Amino acid sequence: MVELAHYLLIGICVFIVMWAMIKVERVYQFPFFMASMVITFILPQVSALINNPGLVTESMLFQVLIMACLCLSMCWFGYNRPPNRKLLSKLQISLNNKKLLHSAIFLTAIGWIFGILTRQAAITLEQGTQWSGSVTIFLFFQQVIYIGFAIFLVHFLKKPSVINIVGTIIAGFPIIQTILAGRRQPTMTFLMIIGFCVWFMLRLAPPRWLVLIVLIAGIYIIPVVGQLRHGFWDLIFQQDWQNLKLSAEDSFDALQSGTILELRNAALVMHLATSSGNYEYGAGYWNALIFQYIPGQIIGYDFKDALQFNLQRESNLSQDGYAFPIGTTWTGIGDSYLQFGYFGCLIFALMGVLFKTLWVSSIYQGSIVAALLFMSLISPAMVGITHGTERFFQELIFQVIVITLVTYYARSSVKRQKNFKVHKIN
């Protein structure tokens, strides 16, 4: 049964990749980039968990694989539902280009400031400790630079003026620094934003063969980047292909050893919820929002703790002899099941409907507001697979607030002014 579920998950991934290859612009759409995360992050862990299950039994492994199949299927199913017409109507907002550029400058400045604060705060932390407190707040607000970069890039592709070129470079520089430090999530987000902007403005997409090569290479690149961090780029710039090859093999072998696997966390916490019947029914999402948006430094940590449910996931697992590895995640497969059982996969269907609405509004109706929302939610959606759906809702609220403020400031007095190309739905 485990082998059958494994092949089923692979088959769903192959189906979505083939779906994307039929129309190459689909590589920027929700089902494909979610499937790419499953292919590069989840599937290697599946084989590692099968060979090195640890405390995970065969029934637990089957359960987590079936949930993975349901979650990925719902990504495609939800995306292929009709877009939300009410939201489509609300997204048709004309923006003043000059004010939009002012917003980009402001967001870029905020991103730079909080980026500096993040690096300074991170220096004071001990190596190997999990980030918390002020550094997580700084890192959270640093993300606005991606929106600033997206605005500058869209305007640069429309009109490559000096301010647009300089703005794009200044906004992109801290992101590139983060990428060169060996951070995988910013790398994927940066590439997806560039790709989407190029498609949004110029209708240019990468060749299919390149997409497939990058997808397959990602299976080996993601573990080696996680292991080497900035050392990965040192080897690239030095053109030390032999050591890079050896490092990739070592990191992949280390992953396959199964010592630390996020998918094991998911399998065990799913079994715990099933055996005890103690599902969280959204309490995990509430806790995540309280953790992110209620400042303990101001109201007091005791009061903040009182606002949260006492879920005790890690301590419950420790009773079965499992120590939750610091710095790992539950994955979106595990935490969505922990909330609602198998029905938790419907969260990914809702995400699919949201992204379908944003895609139609931006690409076919020319809404820059929808385009900015789409680009700002790419990263939260991908970490919704790797880290958890709690992260998606945490960042969704923040991104919506930021872009709502940008929209309020940059709203044009001209009704339905068309600043960007509008294309008919094929």
Q: How far apart are CA 168 and CA 105, in angstroms?
A: 10
Q: How far apart are CA 378 and CA 34, in angstroms?
A: 9
Question: How do residues 391-402 score in pLDDT, each as one tens digit?
Answer: 999 999 999 999
| Predicted local confidence at residue 179, as pLDDT | 87
Q: CA 161 → CA 166, 167, 426, distances in Å? A: 9, 10, 32
Q: CA 177 → CA 131, 144, 165, distances in Å? A: 19, 16, 18
- List the beta bridge partners of residue 351: none
**Domain map of the chain by residue range?**
2-84+209-348
| Predicted local confidence at residue 123, as pLDDT | 64
Lookup: tokens for 359: 């895609």
| Predicted local confidence at residue 258, as pLDDT | 81
pLDDT exceeds 50 at position 417: no
CA dihedral 76, 80, 81, 84 (to 10 degrees): 100
Question: How do residues 131-179 score in pLDDT, each as one tens digit?
Answer: 556 777 788 889 999 999 999 999 999 999 999 999 999 999 999 988 8
Higher pLDDT, 124 or 55: 55
pLDDT band with cut points at 50, 70 and 90 for residue 237:
confident
Q: What does the pLDDT average to over 211-215?
A: 91
DSSP 3-state percent helix, strand, coil across the chain (nearest 5): 75, 0, 25
The pTM of this model reads: 0.90
| Predicted local confidence at residue 78, as pLDDT | 97
